[in-house]
Chains A and B, each alone.
Chain A
Amino acid sequence: MSDTTQFRVLDFDCPTCASTVERALSNADGVQRVEVHYSTGRVEIEYDDSVATPDAFAETIENQGYTPQPA
């Protein structure tokens, strides 16, 4: 089933950083839709919950060099 989760990344330091994270998340397993906003730092992910978990997304964001916080 499809589920939605949100994170807040407060340490994006340029708009491209946000697009990089958006690309990385959209390539992650089970992701159906992803929005990453530089201006507010809001990350919204719609995903298939039989394939992926929010923790995996948090890790993806961390791997890109940014700190996800629960929104």
Chain B
Amino acid sequence: MNKQSLTQYYRKHRKAIVTATSGLLYGGGWSLGYLTSFDLAGAAILILATVVGGYDIAKTAYHEVTNRTLGIKTLVTLAAIGAIIIGEYWEAAAVVFLFSLGSYLEGRTMRKTRTALQELLEMTPETATVRRDGELQEVPAREVEEGEVVVVKPGGKIPVDGTVVDGESAVNQAPVTGESAPVHKADGDEVYAGTVNQEGALEIRTTGAGSDTTLERIIRRVEEAQEAQSPTESLIDRFAKYYTPAVIVLAIGAYAVTQNAILSLTLLVIGCPGALVIGPPVSIVSAIGNAARSGVLMKGGEHLERAGKIDLVAFDKTGTLTKGETTVADVRGFGIDDDEVLSLAATAEKKSEHHLADAIVDAAHERPTAATDGGTTVAQAEDANGGRQSVPDPDDFDVVAGKGVIAHAGGHEVVVGNRALLDDHDIDTPDRIADYVREREERGETVVHVIRDGDVIGAIAMRDELREAAPGVVAALRDAGIETVMLTGDNERTAAAVAEEVDIDEYRAELLPEDKQSVIEAYQADGHVVAMVGDGINDAPSLATADVGIAMGAAGTDTAIETADMALMADDLERIPYAVKLSKATRWNVLENVGLAVLTVTVLLAGVLTSYVTLASGMLVHEASVLAVILNGMRLLRY
């Protein structure tokens, strides 16, 4: 090993080398004094052990003092100097050695917590293959410009955020969304930097590179979350500010009264509430890091602590418990042709952006329309021309929020809506129509009536399939002692059918968007700590009202990541029991750590005041308690 690499090696492992040397000297000095009569030699070696182990500590202590912060290194330095002055060389060496060993181990374990996220960043490749001037060029990934086309080979990592413009493949998005199953990607689909292209070559038009990628934003967000203090942390910080000076005053006071130097110096050693200040941040950082790697972003320790108290989870129905892909299940005309009903409804709904409207227009498109009278080929030809040409535009159109639409087309007034809209307009529903509607609703379908010039001429039943995971998620939450509620704008019957299918505890039907907020407020007034699960955009107000707002499928939507207390990167409902349980485990972990720390300090104080605990044993217990809370907190990394 040449001199340079030796220096490098020393620099890198300085703490370990210093600790080991001081430990060896300490052992040697102690044996010499214990086994032989070379007392003086033994004392000299123990002083040397103190100096070797204590030099770095004293240096930092000097900086602490000049920067006017009162830290443990100042206290340890004072205690070691004091012990040497009164001739307790063994105590001095032991305190310094144990402290060095403790902080070396603490630094090493904390490093693991601190680098847990960096591993995610390392998923992004350094270089990208870009098509420039008709040629493929290898450039640093950070320098890819927006709009440039990047080529990713099968098995390669995707270097930028972008849209697929050519090729088809399965992409493993676990680093970004936490989903374990690969996602199929083709023309027009979004892909994220750091994800892995598994099957075919992809050409991707860049939408973000370098620090402007979803993964980078996630990591920034997670770090901010880890750095934000939870209420427990700030409480402890305030306490710690007074604790250390108080113990120093106590040490001076104790010396003045008892003239017992060992007692006073020992008080200094335990004067830093180590485990108390270190425990909660380690628990929270570990939990947030773990969640991030599973595709769940937590906004911070405060939210995590609150999430640990959740006893009721409210789910928005559409897009949360269901897939959010509404399709027309059945069309029924009363007195007129089924297809004509669909065609009329599609015209009325054409300009609406409601998800039910989309389903109706899509269905009209796929079905042979009344006008072409069963001409499938014509419908397809029109499809090929693109757009919704087969559905004519309405002359005018009005949305009645939460109820339906009123439009004019071809000289007729066409109303498409739910029962509330019918009641508003005093429109009677003939029995056979009402029977049909009831029958479909009891299957969990949503039915709209189609009214032409004041007469109900038909009804359209629509279905939004449940997510396969939904019943399991509700059951898992129930096992964890958490109530579940479904909130929906659907009518009572449809809601009851869906609620039964999911086996959810409660449901609230016929809610307008603003009603969902009041329902949550009512639960809160009853003393519940409520989590609301929604899509993060339409449900933003109720997510904000809930104690913990959980947004689903947040990977592509920055607003959801910014506003929700928790964001599930994927549309993966199964992360919810995991996130809720992790929050509960974190809350317990923080309490365990605080409990252990308070117990340690109490026992130590009692021990010191009764002279059972001296410098070395005090330091041993202190360092052991710090390591214990760190290791306990780190369990959450593997939760």
Contacts and interface: CB of A to CB of B under 8 A. Distances in A.
Interface of A: 8, 10-17, 19-20, 23-24, 27, 35, 37-42, 63-65
Contact of A65 (B59, B72, B110, B227): B59
24 contacts: A11-B15, A11-B107, A11-B111, A13-B104, A14-B106, A14-B274, A15-B278, A16-B73, A16-B272, A16-B277, A17-B73, A19-B71, A20-B69, A37-B226, A38-B281, A39-B226, A39-B227, A39-B281, A40-B114, A41-B110, A42-B223, A42-B227, A64-B63, A65-B60
A17 B106 CA distance: 13
Contacts of A35: 227
Contact of B72 (A11, A12, A14, A41): A14
Interface in B196-232: 223, 226-227
A11 B60 CA distance: 13
A38 B110 CA distance: 10
A4 to B, nearest CB: 12
Contacts of B272: 14, 16
B103 interface: yes
A14 B69 CA distance: 13
Interface of B: 15, 56, 59-60, 63-64, 67-73, 103-104, 106-107, 110-111, 113-115, 117, 223, 226-227, 237, 272, 274, 277-278, 281-282, 284-285
A23 B110 CA distance: 22
Contacts of A15: 237, 277-278, 281
Given A20-B60, A27-B67, A39-B281, 12 more contacts: A10-B107, A11-B107, A11-B111, A13-B104, A15-B237, A17-B60, A19-B71, A20-B71, A35-B227, A39-B114, A39-B226, A42-B223
A27 B63 CA distance: 12
A40 B223 contact: yes
B106 A13 contact: yes
The secondary-structure label for the interface of chain B is helix
Contacts of B110: 10, 12-13, 41
Contacts of A63: 63
The secondary-structure label for the interface of chain A is loop
A10 B115 contact: yes
B64 A10 contact: no
Contacts of B106: 13-14
Contacts of A16: 64, 69-73, 272, 277
Contact of A40 (B56, B59, B72, B285): B285
B77 to A, nearest CB: 12
B69 A23 contact: yes
A40 B73 CA distance: 21
A20 B67 CA distance: 6
Contact of A14 (B67, B68, B278): B278
Contact of B285 (A12, A19, A27, A39): A39
Contacts of A8: 114
A23 B227 contact: no
A10 B60 contact: no
Nearest to A16: B71
Contacts of A65: 56, 59-60, 63
A66 to B, nearest CB: 9
Contacts of B237: 15
A64 B71 CA distance: 13
A31 to B, nearest CB: 13
B79 to A, nearest CB: 16
Contacts of B15: 11
Contacts of B73: 16-17
Contacts of B223: 40, 42
A40 B110 CA distance: 9
Q: Which of A16, A39, A42 has the most CB of B within 10 A?
A: A39
A15 to B, nearest CB: 5
Given A10-B114, A17-B60, A39-B226, A24 B67 contact: yes
Given A23-B68, A39-B227, A40-B226, A12 B63 contact: no
A64 B60 contact: yes
A55 B281 CA distance: 29
A7 to B, nearest CB: 12
Q: Which 10 A-B pairs have the closest CB atoms?
A: A16-B71, A23-B67, A13-B103, A65-B60, A10-B111, A37-B227, A39-B281, A11-B107, A13-B107, A41-B114
A10 B278 CA distance: 15
Contacts of B111: 10-11
Contacts of A17: 60, 71, 73
Contacts of A27: 67
A16 B223 CA distance: 20
A35 B227 CA distance: 10
A12 B71 CA distance: 13
Contacts of A12: 107, 110
